[in-house]
Amino acid sequence: MQATVTKDLPKATIKLNGRFDFNTHRDFRAAYEALIVDEAVKVVTVDFAGVDYLDSSALGMLLMLRDKMGGVNKDVALTGVQGNVKQVLDIANFSKLFRIA
């Protein structure tokens, strides 16, 4: 997986490409860590348009992101969710935890 961060303040977007699974936890964490302390960022959007697979560890990483951002009063949203990824998020009831577009 590749993670690219762009900022359009007060929003930051983490664009993911490829498989989002346990092997990518370091890359994902590296993508969002700087956003935690960036006071100009108020909303973090994770763009799943380029993701074709995610597993349970990816769900855990999203929950960790939500907790860390929530701890500094930042909102997290998920966009570009489709296909198999949408199914997994629906089954896990993530629509109750995240704003999904």
One of 1.10.150.120, 3.90.700.10, 3.20.20.150, 3.30.750.24 is the CATH number of 2-100, namely 3.30.750.24
Q: Tell me the pTM.
A: 0.94
The Cα–Cα gap between 14 and 6 comes to 7
Distance of CA 84 to the CA centre of its chain: 16
Q: Is 9 helix (H, G, I), strand (E, B) or coil?
A: coil
- pLDDT, tens digit, 9 for 90 and up, residues 7-46: 999 999 999 999 999 999 999 999 999 999 999 999 999 9
